[in-house]
Each structure stands twice: as structure tokens, then as C-alpha cells.
Chain A
Amino acid sequence: MDVSSVLTKENENNNDTNKNFQEMDINTIIESASRVIAPLWPISTFAARNPWMGLEKQSFDEVADWLKDTRDVDIYPSASMIRSAKSKGEIDEAFVKMGLQRWLDTHPFNIPRDVAERFCQAALKLDPLPSSLLSSHKLEKAVEEFSGLNLDSIKNSSIQPMSSFVKKQDGEKLIKILDNHVIKWCKVYLDEFQAGWTMPHREEGFYRAWRRLIQYDPALSKHQRQNLKDWPHEAPLALKEALSLMEIPTSEIQNYLEGHLLSLPGWAGMMLWRSQQTSHEQELLTDYLAVRISLEWALIKPYLPLSNQRTESEVSLTTLLASWIHWGGLTIEDWLQMSATEQHEYLSFAYSFDEMLRRKIWLEAWEQTHTDQLSQKLIFKQRETKRNHSTLAQLAFCIDVRSEPFRRQLEKEGPFETIGIAGFFGLPIATSELGSKHSHASLPIILNPQHKIKEYADEEELDKYQQRKQAVNSLSNTFKTMKQNVLASLLLPELSGPWLSLQMVARSFVPRKANRFIRNLRESWIRKPNTKLSLDHEDNTEENLPVGFTEEEKLSYAHQALKLMGLTEKKFAPLVVICGHSSQSINNPYASSLECGACGGAAGGFNARALANLCNLPEVRRGLSAKGIEIPDDTIFVAAEHKTTIDELHWIYVPTLSEAAQEAFDCIEAIMPTVSRNANAERLAQLPGFQSKLKNPNAEAQRFADDWSEIRPEWGLARNAAFIIGQRELTQDCDLEGRAFLHNYDWKQDESGDLLENIIAGPGTVSQWINLQYYASTVAPHYYGSGNKATQTVTAGLGVMQGNASDLLTGLPWQSVMQSDSEAYHSPLRLLIVIQAPSEYVERLLNNDSVFREKVENGWVRLSSIDPEGHWKNW
């Protein structure tokens, strides 16, 4: 089914009243067309991004078919990936058989069931048809004699940019040339910091700057430049002009624009993101399409009018018949004896049981196997692990899958209780580090910050600190200025060469020591003063966000966080540790993809510190006690950061501790080396390396973090597959292999179901996006991933391109999902959300939250629940 045509029709209906092309609002069309791309943010805040976020109204399978048709992008796992998963025991073939039966039961066909079944089972082996058969003469003849198949029903058509049908004399498709032009214009326009000379007129906006420059562009022929010389001054007009000159029918405009947006979804996505950031660039996506389609017109003009504008992927009857012969055990003689209707039935059956469908059945079996294995683990583990001694400390970690192994090791070493909660701890804040004018929205990308929290220090100390910092920055500024000066740049290698070579040699042969030395040198020079956070509300009209919290807000955020952690009904331990997490790697453009996704792609320490601070405030504690939550006086909240690359806990906020808290603190300190060693040993075994047994896992983990040549500093969230919302008791002592997001939830405390709704809407979406980003980068690495790290170049400081130039790449690099060029690491499975609650809760959730219901129904996430009796239910 052609998904986009459905939408176009809707659109037509909307525009029934004014069918006049001139009056039609091009901006509305562009807005609906933009559903096919997703905004792309700069790589420095690489928070997970679901490439199909605008398409969740359609089912996963529809989108898969549509992508296959329009872009030839396949989003089911490939046959080889499936085969290797099967050999690793990740797919139970019984589920494949069940999937097949289900499909046969629900799809009508008029051939004997046993014949159909035999055919399908053989086809599901996913072996290719032998080429000797496909080219056999006999087969071709048999096909030729058959002409009864109604082709209309099984032909696909889609709208492609016109330039994709035209080839230049040298065989180059015009769309390739068009893409090059567009890439060039986008990157020079979007750059703000890399180039010494910026694009002229860029302050006037993308389209206008382009219009002014295009008449001088030596990359176009004189004739083409001439054509664009008197082009309209405004983007919407230009777009309309180009579309009408190319005679795109009104009804197909949206479709046509979608085709163009999907040609370079990364650059288009970046334009979309930018258009949402500031008011003066609001029309950026219109500008982008105007530039792109105007250029297309200029390139294509000599070839107009075009005769063939549609790709019609003819279904090869030969292949269909060959598949019957190869898999269905049919002979040509059998075939020739069939009636025309029978032949038709056979062929359309083979057509509908196509290659995509086969892999879809495999994917679902893979997912069911995973569900099955997980449910076994959770339901049948022994439950008698009651600890006798009282809890020394409670540690709250981010839901991130990397927390799970660390929490497990931590719990093993002592009477500690660990808790899972989204790493922004429910604080909708933008953070601003000491002395920095920039603020970072430290919360899931889907939410907007409500408050700004600044780090501040003593005035005088801050001033000195700024000077020291500026001295360091001025070194890199000087380097840049000299590089951009014709004469000075000639001396620069001789001046900086000796220093850089020293660095190069040290980093090559003693990576750990070298990096530690450089870091220590920097830190001891900068000497960051002790800081506080601006938690109190400030009246400040200059900022667009209110700084700090009012008294009520303090109380309500603290209360909300404690509720989410399930601490309101428990006894507080003397020490409560709020742990954000951060990663540590160098020379890694994807460093932020390893940071906290719930904090907008940055380290989560700031939020942890803010929450711990809030919970220690006497006024907050008084307010909580009025709500019936008693926090004992000797309970202290502290903040720490879980360093995921080296599995260590770094303290970032430790106030004066009570005696009991101090005891707990010392105990954590004492066991931490063991915890780190065990967690690292478990994690490093998964990373490609040379030794199977490590003598000193901590040192090796540190090397991964400090080595500038390390291509996989850690696995990040690869292999994530499940999001478990429930009590820790459910998952405790289970080895979940670092594949599960864990969020604490106690349905008994959530009569209204609000808590569950919040968890699904916030952390649930974050983990779904992370999951789909990994999924997409694995199944379509060229289109949704960002390719090989070794051949990337950072462009405009915003993102990466492959090779000489390419689309602005959007997903995770090849190395982040692949063990090696021939072995996948990530298993592309759609996220399984497991809710521990009675079925009524889940039903209520689905009824109230239509967005979530849509996701489940359309196959963007999977949903299961465990009720209080321990029964597993797949929704």
C-alpha cells in the first residue's frame, strides 16, 4: 500500500475549498511533508532521535513497505543478520512456525494449504533463489506463455524527484549533481564557527543569500546561472515557480516535496531543527526546499519535458514462478497444466509472501524469543533473597541500560538498595555551568525546560577562574587565528609542530599517562572554585527562563522525584545517593551519544546535584513531612556520577554527613574498587580486544577512556531491548546483560495511574527513541546510521559527513552497533516495555494515552505486563 498517497488524498480534501494553485498555502504543505523527516540536532548534544517520529500514525510495516518503495531503504533485519542471530540461539524457530501459521490463517488464498505451507516453510529458510534457475530458458518460456496476471494490483509506483530520471551524457544522474549542490550550500550556510570566511549574506537567511550568490557560482554553467538570475526574491514564490515550471500537479506537491526531503534527510532535518530554534529562521525548511527545487529546475531545464516520471517496479513473474519451483516443489510441467486462474492464484500467493514479509516473520519471532526468555528469567527466578540487615544506603541510578550491571554488582557487595529513575530526576531545568553564558536543556528532548539553574561562586574567585580559563582558551584561539592568516599560517607548523608531536608520541605510546597528565595539568591550572547552585527563585527579567525554584516548586519537584523513586513509602536509609551518569572518551565526535539521553545528551551530574540539594533543604523536609513523608534527620542526600566508561562512582556533592551517613559513605568507598573491577570485567568481555582474561580490568577500562585512537570507548546502549517498569525485587539478582532500562514503579502507590502515565510519556519515550535509533542504525546503516567512523569528517562543527561529502549523517556510527565489519553487536529488536501492574492499570493507560496506544498498536514498541500474581501477558 502506498502510504503517502493516502495522506495526499487527505490533503486534497482539506484544500477542496481553494483548489487554486496560486492561493494554496505552500507552508502548510511543507509542514505536512516534514513528517517524513525528523529534526536533527547538532552532534555535540547527540540525544537519541527516533527517525520515524512523524510516522507513528502508520504501522511499522506500512512504513517499512513505503520506505522500500520510495527510497529502497529496508528496515527489517537482513537475512544474514537473522541467520547469525539464529545460530546464536536468539531466535526460536517454533515462533517462526507460529508466525507463519498466523499469517496463513489471516490471509485468504485459494491453493491447497499444505502446498502453501510447504512453499512458505522452504521460503522462510531465506536462501536466495539459484541464479541458474532464474536465467533458465525453460522458465522464461513458461512465463512468456502466461499473461493473465492483473499487473495493476501488484505494481508499485512512487513519486521521485524528477532529476532522478535524467542522466547526463557521462551517465551521472542529475539528482547526484543536485545533491552535491545542496550539500555545499547547506554546509556553508549552517556553519558558524569553522570557516575563517563565512558565507556572504548569510545573515539575510538561507534562500536570499543563495539567490544573491547563485548568479556567480562557477559550479553552474553560464546558462544555468542566467536562468536563475531573475528568480523570485522570496522562497515560497520561487518554490511555486519551480514546481509549476516542472509541471508538478497540485495534488502531488506534498508527495513530491517528501521525495526531496528524503533525498538528504540529514540536512533537511538539521534545517527543520534550526527552524524550530529561533524566530528569524522559522521559514528555513521552506528556504531549503526552494533552494533545492529551484536548483533542480535549473539543472533539468534542458531536458524538459520528461517522458517517464514514475518508477514502476515491475514485479518479475520469472522470480515468482522460480520461487514456486525452487521452494514449492512445482515443476514446469505442473505449471503448464494449470488453468489460468490457478496460475494467477499461485503467482499472487508468491507475490504476497514476499521477501520483506518473510523477514518480518523472522523479526517477530526474534522478538518473541526475546520476550519469552526475559519472562522466564523474571518469573522463575528464586524469590527468597530477603536480606536480614537493614539497608545502609539507597542509590538512585538513571534508567540507562548501563546502570543495570553496575547496580547488580553494587547490590552484591553490601546492604544497598538501588533504584531506577530517569536521569534528569524529574527536574525540567536548563543548566548553566560556572561562568558560562550558554545553557543546556538538561532533560529529555521531548520536554521543554521550565527553570534555569546556574552554578555560581564567589565573585573574586570567579574572576580569577575566568582569567585562567581564558588563558587556556586563548591558546586555541591563537592557533585558529594564525591558521586563518595567510602569512602566520606558514609559520604555524614550525611553532606548534614540536608541541603537537610531543603530544602525538605520548598519546600513542602511553595513552593513559599522557591523557591523565594533560587533564591534570589543565585542571590544576584552571582550579575550578567551589560552587553553589542557584536553587532559589530570582526575579530576573533578562533571562527567558525563570532562574531557580519557588518554595512550592522545590517541594513539589522533590516530592515528585521521591514518588517516582518509590521512596515515599519506604524507610529512608541514612545515606541516599542520587547518581547521574557520564561517559569519558577523547577524540570521539560521538562522545555525547554515550552521555545521558534523559539529560539531552549531556552528563547527568548537574541534575543529580540539584535534586540532592533540594532534598537536604530544611524547608523542603518540613513540607514533605506535612505531606506525611518523614525523612529522618540523620538521612543525608548526596550526589554522584556513575562513569560508564570505567564503571566508577565519582562524588560530586557531599555535604556534612551524619554519623550513620558517614558510615554508609565509608562502606561504599570501601567496596567500590571491587564493584568497579567486577563491572568492568563483565563489560570489557564484550568489547573487541586481544585478551580474553584481563589481569586488571580497571586499568584496561581506563585505557579505553583515555586512548585517542579508541574507536569504541564503550558499547553505550547497544543491545538494549527492554524497558522494565516495576519493583527492583522483580529484577534483582537477574543478569539482564545490560539490555534493560529499569524504572522503579509500585502500582500500589499509584491508584490514579498518573505515575505510570508520566513514566511512559517521559522515560518511556526516551527509551523508545534510543531503541529505535539503535534499531535504525543497525538495519539501515547507510541511511539511518552514520557510517564508518574512520572515513567521517566533521563538518560545520554540527555533524559528520562520509568521505568527500554526503548527507549530514544522523544515527550511530557503524562501529557503535557492529562488533566488526562482518559481525553485528546490536540486535535490532523493537523495545519491549514490561509493566509490573494489574491488567486494569495497563488497560487504563492504553485508554488514556492515545499516543502510547498508537505506538503499541502500530508496532513501534512491544508491551507486556506482569500482574501481582506473576502472570505474564503480552499486549
Chain B
Amino acid sequence: MLDSLSLSSSLTLFFIMLIASGLSGLLFLHPRVPLSFVRIHIGIVSLPPLVALFALINASVNGNVGPWYVDSLAWLMVFFVLAIGLIIQRFSVRYLMGDRSYRKYFMLFTFTTGVASITWLSGDIRLMVISWGATLIGLTFLIRLNRGWKVADEAAKVSARLFTLSWFSLLIAMIWLFVVTGQWQLSLALTNEHLAQLGQWERTGINLLIVLAVIIPAAQWPFHRWLIESVVAPTPVSAIMHAGLVNAGGIMLTRLSPLFNGDIASIVLLILASISILIGSGISLVQVDYKRQLVGSTIGQMGFMLVQCALGAYIAAIIHLVLHGLFKATLFLLAGSAVRRYEVSSRINERSAYLWVLAGRTLALLVGVAFWLTAPGDGYQLISALILGWSLSVSWTQLVAFGQGRIGRIAGLIFLGGSAIIYFIIHNLFYEWLHTTVFQGVQPPMFVVIIVVGLLLIGSTIGSWASRNRSSVSYSVLYLWLIRLGEAKTKSIESHPNYLKQLFLSQGGNK
């Protein structure tokens, strides 16, 4: 009783704050409100994530409160989305200064992150679907805010079309689920006895619809176009898109995990996501535009997140999506720093470092195997061990083996060790938070794991093969295909930003 009271009181507090920030966003739209109000607005917007953080740290109970479902995963996601929103709004205070739609940006940022946070707090399926739809609408509006610019409008259209498809497929899946189970409460609908009412084909049908619903926001092949075209959006919008919204699929699958387990839909997801990892990495390898490289990388990372989900490693997926979100938001906000200033990277001592490299590889192999042996039966553990070992080998080579002189090597070692420690601390923290609330997935069949490992290794091999056979025809073909996959279509490209002519210069001009 006491627990649920504190639960509902923290919810109430949270919603008061959320409504306050929404109102503040609306108020700011009014032209009579001075621009300096934006600082107060930032203050107000910082309250809901603080409440969410407080609730996350003190969360001890899970449960439904009215249409809400509250557990540490929900609070974590709410905090994450709102914190990203806050940082991006703070960034925009100076960055968008002077923009014609200055006020609208803040309203839309507040709205979009607000409804996204409601989505992750929803216990009621209807509420979840509606607020997710609202989030997508908010995002589309953000992309097309610069209305005078044809290409922004075009990108918004492409996005809106795909988002609609995604949302309707979620809607149908959820209605179907209701029809079979008779429950609008997600946690009740997903109990074992209710799930047992689902026939095999019904389960597969719903799952396939869910797969469609999640891979579109995650920009997975063959639905990656919207993310490619929406590079036209201003940097803060891109940041919020890549940090807070593309990863919705991971959260949704985690929530629906009891339903989504090891059938044909998982295999479909696994295959599409693995292909996306390769395509995404490929795009970021061949592209030369900073923002487009980031888009490629997001496609790949989201593919990985979905692979984790498909293999039942939901906690790993959540950790990945949160850290990736923060990572990508930072990289987008740093988009102004991508100009090369002349720094010389000397690689003179590559040969003499050969022994060091070899030592690194051995170490990596040992660590990888050891990590795998901690849970050899776990399918995802194998992939995890592979990636961990590989990364260790790569970073060892760069930081330690190629380090210049003693200072370089020692600094490299310290840094490597430091990163590893932080990595494990963060992971433990997340497991601590989430292990009680997240459903542990069923182990996928081993051959599936092997296929994924195989695909990743093939991708890796192609990568190193390509760097050695640059003059071969197949490299040329592969290269050009990857370029093509990463380029926007003609309609979303304009050789000069002609809208600027209209913006100020022709107001009342005499033409």
C-alpha cells in the first residue's frame, strides 16, 4: 500500500512537471513572450527528467497504476528520452538563435520527447500506440519545420509515409492481440495463460507485424530511406532523431518480449538486422559526408540492437540503445568539429610493433574465450565474446602496439584499462537496474547464432579483403553499390539552398 502510494505520488509529480514543460513550450510560441523566456523554459524542461531520475534510483516496485505501467525500465527510458531532449534544447538555445521557427523548435522538442516518454510509461496498449503515433508526428513536423526549403519537405514526406506504415502495422498487431486476449493492459495480455490462447499462426502474424513496426523507425534495410533523406534536418533535430527515436524498436521488443520469442518472425528480424549491420557499416565506410557517415553507423548499430533482441539478450539491447543514443547525440552535436586540421598520424613503427600486435591478438583471444566460457550455453554470449575480443585486439593495436615510445604505450595501456573498467561498471549498473524487470528471452537455436556469427565474420573479412584489393572489379562494384545505398534521391537534393533567397531577400521585393 505504502509502496503503491509512493509510486503513484512520484507518477503524479512527474506528470505535473511534464504538463508544466508542455505549457511552457506552448507559452513560448506566443510572440509577446520575450525570447529570453527560453532560459526559464530550459529550467522547467529540466524538471521531468530529474523526477524520472529520482524515481529510477528509488524504484523498488513494479506495477500498474491506472493506465500506466511503472518499473525501472520505464523510468530509465523516460529519463533517457527526456534528458536527451533537455540537452538538445539547451544546445538549440544558441545554435538556432535567429531562426525563423525558433519558438516552434522548442515547442516541438518538448512535445516530441514528452509524448515519447508517455509511450514508455504506458501500461495500456491503446495509450502506448497513440502516444507513439504522436511521437512520430512530432518528429515529422520537426523535419519539415523549414517549410520553405523543398528538400526538407520532401524528406518529411518520405519519413511520414514510412512512419504511417510502421504505425499502422503496430496498431493492427495490438488490436489483434486484444481481440485474442481480451486485454488492453499490456502486462495482463502478456501473461502466460493469455499468450497460450494465441494460435501458432496468430502469434507469427502478430510478431511479423511487430517486426515491421520496429524496423522502420530503426531504419533497417529495406526501409532505411527515411533516415538517409532526413540528413536535411538541422543538427539538433538529427541528434534527437538518432539518439531518442530510432531505438524505439528495442524498447518495444523488450516490452513485448514474452510474446516475441524464437519463432519465424525472430529469424526474419535477425536476417534483416544482420543485413542492415553490413549495409550500415558499409555506408559509413564509403561515405565522405560527416552526417551521412553517422547515418550509416546508426543503421548498423540499430541492426545490432535488433539482433540482440532477436537473440533474447534484451538487457544487452537496452544498454546498447541507451549508450548508442548518448554516443550518437554527442557526435551529431559535434558535427561542426569535423573539419580536418592538419594533424599528422605517423605510422612509421608498424613493423617494429609486430610483436606487440601479436601479443594483443593473443590476449584478445584469451579474453574472448574466457568471456564466452562464463556462460557457454548462452547464444548471445558467443557473439558478445567475439565482438569484445575483436575490439580489444583492434584497440590494443592502435593504443598500445602503435603507441609512440614508452609514454605512448603506457598512456595507451592506462586508457585501455580505464575504458574496460568503466565499461564493466556501467554494465553491472544496468543489470542491477534491469534484471528484475526485463524478461529473459528464450535461447534461440544454436544454428541461428552460428549464422549471425558467420555473417559478422564475413562482413569483417570483406572489409579487410577490400582494403587489400582496391583495384579489383568486385571492389568497384561493391563500393559503388554502397555509395548508391547511402545517397539521397534527386528530389531531396538541391544544388544551392535557394530558399534563402526567398527567406529575407524577397519580402515585398519587386519581381
Q: Interface of A with B (CB < 8 Å)?
A: 42-44, 78-81, 83, 126-129, 172, 176-177, 179-180, 183-184, 187-188, 191, 193-201, 212-213, 216-219, 263-264, 355, 358, 436-438, 440, 463-464, 466-468, 470-471, 473-475, 477-478, 481-501, 503-505, 508-509, 586-589, 591, 688, 690-691, 707-712, 779-783, 785, 787-798, 801-807, 814-815, 818-824
Contact = CB atoms under 8 A, between A and B. Distances in A.
Nearest to A800: B339
Contact of B345 (A466, A473, A483, A491): A473
Nearest to B294: A793
Interface stretch (B15-23, B68-76, B121-129, B462-470): B462-470
Contacts of A485: 390, 394, 460, 463
B506 interface: yes
A81 B504 CA distance: 8
A708 B412 contact: no
Given A471-B403, A485-B463, A490 B495 contact: no
Interface stretch (B90-98, B169-177, B206-214, B258-266): B90-98
B487 A805 contact: yes
A475 B416 CA distance: 10
Interface in B319-353: 319-320, 322-324, 326-331, 333-346
A483 B394 CA distance: 11
Contacts of B490: 172, 176-177, 180
Contact of B340 (A193, A197, A437, A806): A193
Contact of B480 (A128, A217, A487, A508): A217
Contacts of A216: 473, 476-477, 480
A529 to B, nearest CB: 14
Nearest to A466: B404
Contacts of B448: none
A437 B344 contact: yes
Interface string B279-294: 0010011111111110
B370 interface: no
30 contacts: A128-B510, A176-B495, A183-B493, A194-B289, A195-B285, A199-B479, A440-B342, A467-B404, A468-B411, A473-B343, A485-B390, A485-B394, A489-B284, A490-B304, A490-B387, A491-B391, A494-B427, A495-B419, A499-B419, A508-B90, A587-B336, A691-B36, A781-B501, A787-B497, A791-B234, A798-B340, A802-B494, A806-B494, A815-B97, A822-B503
B58 interface: no
Given A218-B480, A508-B90, A783-B496, A803 B456 contact: no
B445 to A, nearest CB: 22
Given A588-B336, A707-B94, A805-B487, A487 B391 contact: yes
Contact of B475 (A200, A463, A788, A805): A200
A463 B100 contact: no
Interface string B387-431: 110110011011100111111100110010001001100110000
A488 B397 CA distance: 12
A272 to B, nearest CB: 18
Contacts of B278: 486
Interface string B481-511: 1111001101111111111110111111111
B98 A818 contact: yes
Given A263-B495, A822-B503, 9 more contacts: A80-B506, A195-B288, A201-B471, A358-B510, A475-B415, A486-B278, A487-B459, A791-B146, A814-B500
Nearest to B393: A488
A494 B422 CA distance: 10
Contact of B405 (A129, A467, A475): A467
Interface stretch (B24-32, B159-167, B225-233): B225-233
A492 B327 CA distance: 9
A355 B252 CA distance: 60
Nearest to B511: A128
Contact of A795 (B285, B290, B408, B482): B290
Contacts of A815: 97-98
Contact of B339 (A217, A493, A712, A794): A794
Nearest to B494: A806
A688 B97 contact: yes
Which of B324, B402, B493 is most buried by chain A, counting CB atoms within 10 A of its CB?
B493
B99 interface: yes
Contacts of B38: 690
A589 B398 contact: no
Interface residues of B, number: 137
B497 A493 contact: no
A182 to B, nearest CB: 9
Tell me if B's interface is mostly helix, strand, loop or mixed: helix
Contacts of B491: 172
Given A200-B470, A264-B495, A500-B327, A463 B481 contact: no
Interface of B: 35-36, 38-39, 87, 90-100, 146, 149, 151-152, 155, 228-229, 231-236, 277-278, 281, 284-293, 297, 300-301, 304, 319-320, 322-324, 326-331, 333-346, 386-388, 390-391, 394-395, 397-399, 402-408, 411-412, 415, 419, 422-423, 426-427, 456, 459-460, 463, 466-467, 470-471, 473, 475-477, 479-484, 487-488, 490-501, 503-511
A494 to B, nearest CB: 5
Nearest to B464: A485
A461 B341 CA distance: 24
A803 B232 contact: yes
A779 B504 CA distance: 10
A70 to B, nearest CB: 14
Contacts of B408: 467, 470-471, 474
B292 A474 contact: no
Contacts of B297: 483, 489
Contact of A487 (B151, B386, B493): B386
Given A194-B288, A477-B345, A709-B90, A486 B96 contact: no
Contacts of B331: 500
A484 B91 contact: no
Contacts of A500: 326-327, 330-331
A783 B505 CA distance: 13
Nearest to B406: A467
A818 to B, nearest CB: 7
A461 B399 CA distance: 22
Contact of B290 (A358, A793, A818, A821): A793
A459 to B, nearest CB: 14
Which of A177, A193, A793 is most buried by chain B, counting CB atoms within 10 A of its CB?
A793
B285 A793 contact: no
A740 to B, nearest CB: 26
B481 to A, nearest CB: 6
A711 B95 contact: yes
A187 B97 contact: no
B330 A504 contact: yes
B327 A194 contact: no
Nearest to A212: B476
A804 B231 contact: yes
A498 B151 CA distance: 35
Which of A43, A219, A471, A589 is most buried by chain B, counting CB atoms within 10 A of its CB?
A471
Given A263-B495, A690-B35, A801 B289 contact: yes
Given A484-B285, A790-B235, A200 B471 contact: yes
Contacts of A494: 319-320, 323-324, 423, 426-427
B235 A44 contact: no
Given A127-B510, A491-B391, A782-B497, A486 B463 contact: yes
Contacts of B501: 780-782
Nearest to A801: B289
B497 A474 contact: no
Given A781-B501, A796-B288, A821-B504, A197 B476 contact: no
Contact of B510 (A129, A468, A708, A790): A129
Contacts of B94: 707, 709-711
Contacts of B480: 213, 216-219
Contacts of A440: 342
B104 to A, nearest CB: 12
